[in-house]
Structure 1
Amino acid sequence: MNTGTPFGAWILALLLTVSGGAVQAKTPPDQLLIGMNMNNLLTLDPAAMTGNDIVGIVVNLYDPLIELDPQELTNVRPALATSWEVNDARNLITFHLREGVTFHSGNPVTADDVVWSMRRILHLNLAQASVWKSYGFTKKNVDEMVRTPSPGIVEIQLPKPNDPKLVIYSLAALGSVVALDRKTVQAHEVNGDWGNRWLTTNEAGSGPFRLDSWQAKDVLNMSRNPQYWRGEPKLSRVVFRHFQESQTLRLMIEKGDLDIANNMAVSDVTALSHDPAMAVDTVKKGTIYYVAMSMKEPHFANPKVREAVRYLIDYQGIGKALMNGYGIVHQRPIQVGMPATLPDPGYTLDIPRAKTLLAEAGYPDGFDTTLRVLADQPFLNIAIAVQSTLMQAGIRAKIVTGTGNQIYGAMRERKFDMLVGRGGSGVEPHPHSSLRALVYNPDNNDAARLTNFQGWRTGFYDKQLNTDIDQAL
C-alpha cells in the first residue's frame, strides 16, 4: 500500500475502570463519570463526525435502523427497524420500522425522518458521505434511491452493483445513518445548512440519553431518556470530562474521582494494571495507527522515497515500548482475522537500505519535511520515535502538533506532508471496510471531497486497484 505505513493495527482500545477494592469511585452509583482527552471532539452532528471519540457519544443520543451484535459482529440486530429483506435482484433493501418510538422532543420517529436523515448525509457532503458515495449514492440520486413508499417502510435502492450484505453492515456499524428529528432540525436550519450549525453543539435523537450541555474541551453532560423504547436506562446521568494529561487521568482514577479513564499512556496503564482496585479492559477494533505521506508533495510522489520510509520505522520497538495494550504490529490494510488478509511483508528498521533508496530517488542527503500529529498519546510518542529514525537517513521531519481539526483538518484539505494518525474503519466485519477506508480512491480530484478515505486524503490513486476492489463486491 503506497499511502502510508501502518504499524499499530487492530487497535486495542483501552478503558480503565474502578472495580471493587481499596479505591471506590466517589460518584453516585447511578451516575457515570468518564475522563478522556476531548481535543478531537469537534462536532455532535452525525453526518460530520470523524474519529472514535464522537462515536461513543452519538450512539447514545441517536438510534440506527439496525446494529451489530457486539459479541458477534457478523450478526445484525434490529433497532429502529424490526425486520428487513433484500430483493431477488439484490439491489433493494426494505426496512420495516418499529412503531411507537419517539424522539427526545416527543415527536414520533417516522420513515420520513429516517429517509430525510440519510438524504441529509449526501446533500451536506461532509465526512460520512464518503462511504455512501463509494456505493454510488450522490446528491443527485439519493432522493430517488432512498425513499418511503408507505408509512413505516424505508427502501434503499443500490445505485450500482454492490454486496447488499456490506451495505447492511455499513448501516449497522457507522453510527452516521441514525434517525434525526426532522422537524426539530429544520426549525434550526440557517441558509440551507440542513441544521448543521445547530447540530454541531445540539442533538435531535431518540437514543437512551439526552444531551444536557456541552462545553468544548471541558465537559459534556447527558441524562437518561425515561421514555426510551428499550426501557429506561439504569444510569441517570453520564458525564464526560476533559483531561489533557494521562498522568492527571491516572491520579483521578486512583482517587476514585472517575469511573472510567479512556486512552491513557501505556506507562500509566501498566502501573495501574498492578492495582487490584483497577480493571483494565481492551476492546479489539479494526482501525490502524499509520504514517501517511501525501503524494501531492514532490518527495513522497516518488515511490522510492515511500519505500525508504517503510524501512525507517522501528515497528517492533514502537510496538513494545509505546503500543502495549493499544495495538499489535500489522503491516497490511485488511484487519487481522478477516478473509483475504495476506501475511505481513516483514518491513523492519533498516537504515542502510533506506539510505540507498533515498539516493536512488535523488535525495542522498535527505530532505526537510513536516510530520503532523495530535498532541495526545500514544500519537505524540509515536511521532517522536518516527522522527528519530527518519533523521538517521537524513529526512529532517519537523513535528507539528495540534487538535484533531488542526491535524486531520489539514489532511482532509490535502495540505500536509507526513502525518501520524489512526483510521481505517474496520467497523464492518468485511474486508472491504478496511480497503475502502485505507486505499480505495475512485476520484482523485480535489473536488471529489472523499474526506473520510485515506486514499483520497493522501492523493494515492491506483485505477486497477480501485477496479479490483469494486469487482470484489
Structure 2
Amino acid sequence: MNIKTLLGRGIAVLCLVLSASLVQAKTPPDQLVIGMNMNNLLTLDPAAMTGNEVVGIVVNLYDSLVELDPAELTNVMPALAERWTISDDRNLLTFHLRKGVKFHSGNPLTAQDVVWSFRRVLHLNMAQASVWKSYGFNRDNVDRQVRAVDDYTIEIALPKPNDPKLVLYSLAALGSGSVLDSKTVKQHEQKGDWGNRWLTTAEAGSGPFKLDIWQAKDVMRISRAPGYWRGESRMSRVIFRHLQESQTLRLMIAKGDLDIAATMSVPDIEALKSNQEMVIDAVRKGTIYYVAVSMKEPHFANPKVREAVRYLIDYQGINKAIMPGYGVLHQRPIQQGMDATLPNPGYALDIERARKLLAEAGYPDGFDTTLRVLADPPFINIAIAVQSTLMQAGIRAKIMTGTGNQIYGAMRDRQFDMLVGRGGSGVEPHPHSSLRALVYNPDNRDEARLTNFQGWRTSFFDKTLNQLIDTALLERDPDKQRALYAEVQNRYDALFPAIMPVSQMVDSVVVRKNVRNYVPHPSATTFLREVYKQEQ
C-alpha cells in the first residue's frame, strides 16, 4: 500500500473522529446544561440564602404561594395559592391553597407546611428574615400572626400597617416564601436548627425539579419531579456546572457543551453576538452596583470625608468603559423605571473639590484604608478605577479580594473600611424594595444583626429618613406617595450616605438558539419548568 493511500485513509479516520467528537459535544435533547460561576452559591436553604444565583435554583426546587409575571412584574400570579383576599383595613391576607399538591417525598402539602415554613424563617433569624422583620414580624409574634385556618387556608396578619401589595411581591420574589416539607425537614433537625444544616445541601420542596446531587464549586444536578401538579417539566434534567473563567464559558457554549452560559464577561458576550447559533438575553434588574464605606470607621464617620469620596468616583468613565453589558449609569437608591425615581443628580469626578473637603475634614494628606471587592468582573474593574481616583486626592486604598463569603461576610459583620459591591434587592416592583435594602435601618445596634439591610451593614442611620420611608410606604394617594419618595431621595443625598450608587445592573445570559421558553426573570426567579429544546 503506497504512502498516498495510507495518508488518505489516515485523514478519513481523523475526520470520522472529529465528526464524532462534534456530535458528542451536543448536550442531550432532554437535558439542559447551564454554565455559571457558583462561587457565591453557599447554601440551598431558602431561609439562609443570599444572592441571585441561588434564588434561580431554589425557585425550581420549591413552590411558593404566588409568583411574579416576568413580562409584567406588578402582575401577581397564582401558584400554590389558587386565590387570595386582602381585608378592607389592609392588615390581613388570606390565601386559599390548591388541593392535591405533593412534596417530592410524597407527603401532601397543606396549610400547616406553609405556616411552618414562614415561621421557620423568623425563628432561624438568618439572611431572609430581615425583610420580614422590616414588616414587623419577629420570632416572638410570628406564631400568632401567621396561622392555618384549616388544611387549605392560611391567614397572614400584618404586625404593623404596611402596603399588602409589597407583602405579596415579597412572597413571590424573594425565595424566602418557598414552602418546605415540614415533616421531612423535622426528621433532619439537629440541636434545634430547624433542619438548616441538612438543607444546606439538600431540599424538601414540591417544585418541578428535585435535587439529585450538589458538589460545591463543581456541579449540581436536578431532575424532573414525577407527578408535578402543573404537569411534569419538559426537561428530564438540568445540570449546573461551575465554570469560573468567562473564556471557558464562551468556548464551551460555542462548542455546544453548554445550552446556557451565565456570569460571563462582557467581552466574551460581545464576541458571541455574531454567532448565529446564540441569543443574548439582557435583562435590567433592580440591583445596584455601589461603593460603600463603613461609618464605624473613624475617617468615614466624618460627613465631609464621605462627600469627598462621592466626588472621587468617575461615574461616567466607569459606566462608559467598564459597565456596558453589566449595568447603566444610576446614582439613586431607588431603581430606574419607577414613577418615584428622581433623575440622576449628576455627580461626577472632581478631584480638587474632594481635596478641599478632605482638608476641611482634617486630612490634607489623605489617609490609608482598605477596599474590599470580589475578584470577578466588573467588581474588580470598578475597584481598580476607584482606587486610582481616590489616590489622586491622597486616599491610599489597598484592594483586598476574596470570595463572596469573605467580602460580604466582612460587611455583614461590620468589619470593613470600603467595599465595591452589588445589592439593593429591587426584586419587588416597588420603591420600598430598594430603600429597604440600601437605606432603611430601624436598629443600628450591633446586636440587632440586620444583616440583609445594607444600611445596617454600613452603620448608616437616620431616624427621620426611616420615618419618611415608613410614611411613604403607607400613603395611598399616588401623588403624595411620589412626593414622599422624592423627599426620601433628596434627604439621602444631603446626608452624604455610606452607600453611593454607581450603576444599575444589567444581566446578560447567552442562550443557544435551539433552547425554547427560557425567560430570564428580572427578579432572578427564572423558572425552568417550560424550557425545552427544538431540534435544528
TM-score grouping bracket, smaller chain normalisation: over 0.9
Measure how far apart 1:277 and its partner are: 2.4
Match in the other structure for 2:131: 131
How well do the aligned residues superpose, as a CA RMSD in angstroms? 1.3
Q: Deviations over 1:87-118 (max 9, x none)?
A: 11211000000100000000011100000000
2:228, 2:306 → 1: CA distance? Answer: 51
- Which amino acid in the other structure matches residue 34 of structure 1? I
Asked whether the equivalents of residues 117 and 180 of structure 1 are also in contact (C-alpha less than 8 Å), the reply is yes
Match in the other structure for 1:448: 448
Asked whether the equivalents of residues 23 and 255 of structure 1 are also in contact (C-alpha less than 8 Å), the reply is no
Match in the other structure for 2:353: 353
Measure how far apart 1:248 and its partner are: 1.3
2:391, 2:423 → 1: CA distance? Answer: 26
1:281, 1:34 → 2: CA distance? Answer: 14
Q: Deviations over 1:156-203 (max 9, x none)?
A: 000011111111111111111111000110100000000000000100
- Which amino acid in the other structure matches residue 85 of structure 1? T
Asked whether the equivalents of residues 145 and 158 of structure 1 are also in contact (C-alpha less than 8 Å), the reply is yes
1:266, 1:358 → 2: CA distance? Answer: 36
1:362, 1:454 → 2: CA distance? Answer: 28
Q: Does 313-322 or 34-43 show the bigger shift? A: 313-322
1:73-472 maps to which residues of 2 (within 5 A)?
73-472=73-472
1:425, 1:59 → 2: CA distance? Answer: 16
2:254, 2:419 → 1: CA distance? Answer: 34
Measure how far apart 1:417 and its partner are: 0.8
1:357, 1:265 → 2: CA distance? Answer: 36
Q: Deviations over 1:334-377 (max 9, x none)?
A: 11111211111111111111111111111111111111111212
1:338, 1:107 → 2: CA distance? Answer: 42
Question: What secondary structure is seen at the aligned counterpart in 2 of 1:67?
Answer: strand
CA shift in 2, pair 1:417/1:23, >3 Å: farther
Percent sequence identity over matched residues? 78
2:223, 2:378 → 1: CA distance? Answer: 31
1:398, 1:53 → 2: CA distance? Answer: 29
1:24, 1:463 → 2: CA distance? Answer: 62
Name segments (4+ residues, structure 1) moved above 3 Å: 22-25
1:92, 1:86 → 2: CA distance? Answer: 6
2:320, 2:208 → 1: CA distance? Answer: 39
TM-score by length of 1: 0.94
1:147, 1:54 → 2: CA distance? Answer: 28
Question: What secondary structure is seen at the aligned counterpart in 2 of 1:373?
Answer: strand
Match in the other structure for 1:7: none
Measure how far apart 1:24 and its partner are: 10
2:278, 2:70 → 1: CA distance? Answer: 23
- Which amino acid in the other structure matches residue 246 of structure 1? S
Asked whether the equivalents of residues 25 and 259 of structure 1 are also in contact (C-alpha less than 8 Å), the reply is no
Measure how far apart 1:274 and its partner are: 2.4
Asked whether the equivalents of residues 220 and 240 of structure 1 are also in contact (C-alpha less than 8 Å), the reply is yes
- Greater relative CO, 1 or 2 (CA 8 Å, sep 6+): 1
- Which amino acid in the other structure matches residue 202 of structure 1? A
Match in the other structure for 1:17: none
Unaligned 5+ runs, structure 1: 1-21
Asked whether the equivalents of residues 55 and 175 of structure 1 are also in contact (C-alpha less than 8 Å), the reply is yes
2:124, 2:235 → 1: CA distance? Answer: 34
Measure how far apart 1:260 and its partner are: 1.0
- Which amino acid in the other structure matches residue 167 of structure 2? V
1:207, 1:330 → 2: CA distance? Answer: 36
1:392, 1:244 → 2: CA distance? Answer: 33
Question: What secondary structure is seen at the aligned counterpart in 2 of 1:221?
Answer: strand
CA shift in 2, pair 1:255/1:124, >3 Å: same
- Determine if the alignment matches structure 1 residue 72 to structure 2 residue 72: yes
1:63, 1:259 → 2: CA distance? Answer: 25
Asked whether the equivalents of residues 68 and 169 of structure 1 are also in contact (C-alpha less than 8 Å), the reply is yes
Question: What secondary structure is seen at the aligned counterpart in 1 of 2:150?
Answer: coil
Asked whether the equivalents of residues 186 and 194 of structure 1 are also in contact (C-alpha less than 8 Å), the reply is yes
Q: Does 60-69 or 312-321 show the bigger shift? A: 312-321
Asked whether the equivalents of residues 23 and 277 of structure 1 are also in contact (C-alpha less than 8 Å), the reply is no
2:135, 2:25 → 1: CA distance? Answer: 47
Question: What secondary structure is seen at the aligned counterpart in 1 of 2:34?
Answer: strand
- How many residues align structurally? 452
Unaligned 5+ runs, structure 2: 1-21, 474-536
Q: Deviations over 1:112-155 (max 9, x none)?
A: 00000000000000010000000000110000000002120110
Question: What secondary structure is seen at the aligned counterpart in 1 of 2:161?
Answer: coil
TM-score by length of 2: 0.83
1:379, 1:365 → 2: CA distance? Answer: 27
- Which amino acid in the other structure matches residue 42 of structure 2? L
Measure how far apart 1:23 and its partner are: 11
Q: Deviations over 1:266-314 (max 9, x none)?
A: 1111112122222111012111011111111111111111111111111
